[in-house]
Chains A and B, each alone.
Chain A
Amino acid sequence: MARRIREHYIESLFILAMAVMFAAGVVTAREWPLKSALFPTLIGVAGCIIAVILSLWTGIRGGDEKAPEGPGGAADIFLDVNLRSGEALKRTFIICGWLIGIFVGTWLLGQLIALPLFVFLYLKVGSNEGWVLSLSLTAAAVAFLYGVFDKVIHASWYEGELFRFLGIELF
Chain B
Amino acid sequence: MLEAAQLGLQGILSWPAFGYLLLGISLGVFFGMVPGLSGLSGMAILLPFTFDLQPYEAMALLMGMYAITSTSDTISSVLLGVPGTAGSQATIMDGYPLAKKGEAARAFGAAYTVSGFGGVVGAFLLVCSIPILSPLVLSFGAPEFFLLGVLGMAMVGALSGSAPAKGILVGLLALQFSMIGYSPQDGIPRFWFGVPYLLEGFPIVPCVLGLFSLPEVVELAVRRGTLSDVPEMGKGLADGVRDAARNWWLALRCAFIGAYIGFIPGLGASIVDWVAYGHAVQSNKDPKAEFGKGEIRGVIAPEAANNAMKGGSLIPTIAFGIPGSATMAILLGAFLIHGIYPGPELLSTRLDVTFSVIWALVIANVLTAILLMGCTNQLAKVTTIRGSLLIPIILVLVFMGSWMATQELGDWLVLMGLGALGYLMKRWGWPRPPIALGIVLGPIMERYLDISVSRYGWSWLWQRPICIILILMTLATLYYATRSQKRR
A-facing residues in B16-56 (Cβ within 8 Å): 35-41, 49, 51-52
In the complex, the answer to whether B431 meets A36 with C-beta atoms within 8 Å is no
Residues of chain B lying within 8 A (CB to CB) of residue A91: 221-222, 224
A71-B267, A111-B403, A115-B399 known; A153-B52 Cβ under 8 A: yes
In the complex, the answer to whether B409 meets A107 with C-beta atoms within 8 Å is yes
Asked if B271 is at the interface (CB within 8 A of a chain A CB), the reply is: yes
Residues of chain A lying within 8 A (CB to CB) of residue B485: 64
Which residue of A is nearest B169, CB measured?
A50
Which residue of A is nearest B431, CB measured?
A69
In the complex, the answer to whether A36 meets B183 with C-beta atoms within 8 Å is yes
In the complex, the answer to whether A72 meets B221 with C-beta atoms within 8 Å is no
Residues of chain A lying within 8 A (CB to CB) of residue B218: 92, 95-96
Which residue of B is nearest A133, CB measured?
B389
Residues of chain A lying within 8 A (CB to CB) of residue B224: 91
In the complex, the answer to whether A79 meets B220 with C-beta atoms within 8 Å is yes
Which residue of A is nearest B83, CB measured?
A78
Asked if B407 is at the interface (CB within 8 A of a chain A CB), the reply is: yes
CA distance A53 to B163 in the complex (A): 13
In the complex, the answer to whether A43 meets B412 with C-beta atoms within 8 Å is no
Which residue of A is nearest B445, CB measured?
A39
Which residue of B is nearest A74, CB measured?
B432
Interface size on B, residues (CB 8 A): 92
The digit string for A29-53, where 1 denotes a CB below 8 A from any CB of B, is 1001101101110111011001101
In the complex, the answer to whether A44 meets B161 with C-beta atoms within 8 Å is no
A50-B168, A77-B219, A137-B393 known; A71-B160 Cβ under 8 A: yes
In the complex, the answer to whether B412 meets A21 with C-beta atoms within 8 Å is no
Interface majority SS on A: helix, strand, loop or mixed? helix
Asked if B97 is at the interface (CB within 8 A of a chain A CB), the reply is: no
Q: How far is the CB of B446 from chain A (nearest CB, A)?
A: 4
B-facing residues in A118-135 (Cβ within 8 Å): 118-119, 122-123, 126-127, 129, 133
In the complex, the answer to whether B188 meets A71 with C-beta atoms within 8 Å is no
In the complex, the answer to whether B214 meets A99 with C-beta atoms within 8 Å is yes
Select one of A39, A51, A129, A149 contacting B169, CB under 8 A.
Answer: A51
Interface size on A, residues (CB 8 A): 78
CA distance A139 to B429 in the complex (A): 39
A28-B191, A95-B221, A115-B399 known; A72-B419 Cβ under 8 A: no
Which residue of A is nearest B85, CB measured?
A76
CA distance A33 to B40 in the complex (A): 38
Select one of B86, B391, B399, B430 contacting A76, CB under 8 A.
Answer: B86
Asked if B223 is at the interface (CB within 8 A of a chain A CB), the reply is: yes
**Contacts between the two chains (Cβ within 8 Å), count:** 255
Q: How far is the CB of A148 from chain B (nearest CB, A)?
A: 8
In the complex, the answer to whether A81 meets B219 with C-beta atoms within 8 Å is yes
In the complex, the answer to whether A39 meets B446 with C-beta atoms within 8 Å is yes
Asked if A73 is at the interface (CB within 8 A of a chain B CB), the reply is: yes
In the complex, the answer to whether A137 meets B392 with C-beta atoms within 8 Å is yes
A33-B186, A75-B86 known; A68-B429 Cβ under 8 A: yes
A76-B36, A129-B388 known; A70-B400 Cβ under 8 A: no
A96-B218, A106-B409 known; A43-B175 Cβ under 8 A: yes
CA distance A111 to B86 in the complex (A): 33
In the complex, the answer to whether B191 meets A25 with C-beta atoms within 8 Å is yes
CA distance A100 to B222 in the complex (A): 16
In the complex, the answer to whether A155 meets B403 with C-beta atoms within 8 Å is yes
In the complex, the answer to whether B416 meets A18 with C-beta atoms within 8 Å is no
A sample of 25 inter-chain contacts (CB < 8 A) reads A29-B190, A40-B179, A40-B190, A43-B176, A50-B168, A71-B268, A72-B268, A73-B85, A73-B327, A74-B40, A75-B86, A75-B270, A76-B216, A77-B219, A78-B83, A79-B220, A96-B218, A103-B412, A106-B409, A111-B403, A118-B396, A122-B388, A127-B388, A129-B388, A149-B400
B residues lining the A interface (CB < 8 Å): 35-41, 49, 51-52, 82-87, 89, 156, 159-163, 165-166, 168-169, 172-173, 175-176, 179, 183, 185-186, 188, 190-191, 212, 214, 216-224, 266-271, 325-327, 386, 388-389, 391-393, 395-396, 399-400, 403-404, 407, 409, 412-413, 416, 419, 424, 426-433, 445-446, 449-450, 453-454, 485
10 closest A-B pairs by beta carbon, nearest first, are: A72-B160, A76-B38, A73-B269, A127-B388, A67-B162, A95-B221, A36-B183, A47-B172, A72-B433, A35-B185
